[in-house]
Amino acid sequence: MLHSLLCHVVKGRKEGESAEEFLNVVSVSENKENRAAIAEILDVLEIPYQFVPVGQDIDSIERAAYANATIVLNRDEGEYFAKKLEDIYGVPYVVTKSPIGIRGTRHFIRQIAKLYQIEERAEVYVRNQEEQIGRAYAGNPLQNKKVFVEASPYEIPRFNTFIQELGGEISGLCVPYVDENDREAFKHLEAVAKNVPVIVAVGQLFEKANVLSKKPADYYISTFAGTSFVAERGTLPINLKDCAYLGYKGIVRILQSIERGNLQKERYNLALM
């Protein structure tokens, strides 16, 4: 699809035309809540942008070559589009980390701010957001908790970092695929224990259930559908398929889910006493 759009829809700038002041945000499978979370960040930073190809009409996709830069929300899905825009039309591709968790979101914002030379404004925004989140969710909500994570290979390292930031530990992983392009992403999983099981498949519930029976988890975080089965094993599901998990909105959404889960656990334990 992306190759066809580049060949048949995107129009190059005519001779003498210069780039316009807007940013391409390449989004392929992100839901509308995640796109809204990224839009909120860019609006605060006063950076004009457009999402491509998802969420835009043909006219907007045609204008992709007129942008002054491109970023990608998931490099597994959108990096080809960004690199070809750079190679063919000269639109700079700015590489960022996936904006998941505190560190991932901070890096994402700083890379974009550097491009537009608004570092001071961005740092004020980052500091204010992190202070607000820190006050609302003090402590380590995942302290001594085990977490099973199901997400794309590109997102897994950022989820791992975020879980560690909250005091937790990954006990199992599930990714829909692994290919040559994912080597770099998995290099950043050195902190994960060597005996953590990894499932490469989508929808194989029996494999996930088997892993959870051998290595129980307190939480099951998934960006895909089908998480209710884990509740039967005493694991609390956090299904992010239709929710925001990118940017600051995503951080708050995940923390709220963890908080609710911890309260449920406490009530359940009290009921057993």
For residue 53, list its beta bridge partners.
27
Q: Are 41 and 92 in contact (CB under 8 A)?
A: no
Q: At what angle do helices 119-136 and 247-272 cross, to 10 degrees?
A: 10
Residue 236 sits at φ, ψ, to 5 deg, of -90, 120
Each residue of 66-76: pLDDT tens digit? 999 999 999 98
Residue 16: the pLDDT is 67
Q: Where are the alpha helices (DSSP H) in the chain?
A: 2-8, 32-44, 58-62, 75-89, 101-116, 119-136, 156-165, 183-187, 205-214, 247-272
The CA R_g of the chain, rounded to the nearest whole Å, is 20
Residue 208: the pLDDT is 87
Max Cα-Cα span within the chain: 77
Specify the residue for token string 């970092």: 161
Each residue of 112-134: pLDDT tens digit? 999 999 999 999 999 999 999 99
Q: How far is residue 229 CA from its own chain's centroid? A: 24
With a cut of 50, list the residues of the chain below it in pLDDT: 270, 272-273
- Quote the tokens at residue 223: 């960006």
What pTM value is reported for the model? Answer: 0.90
Q: Which amino acid is at 117?
A: Q
Q: Are 92 and 86 in contact (CB under 8 A)?
A: yes
Does residue 53 have a cis bond before it (omega within 30 degrees)?
A: yes
Q: How many CB atoms are closer than 10 A to CB 66?
A: 20
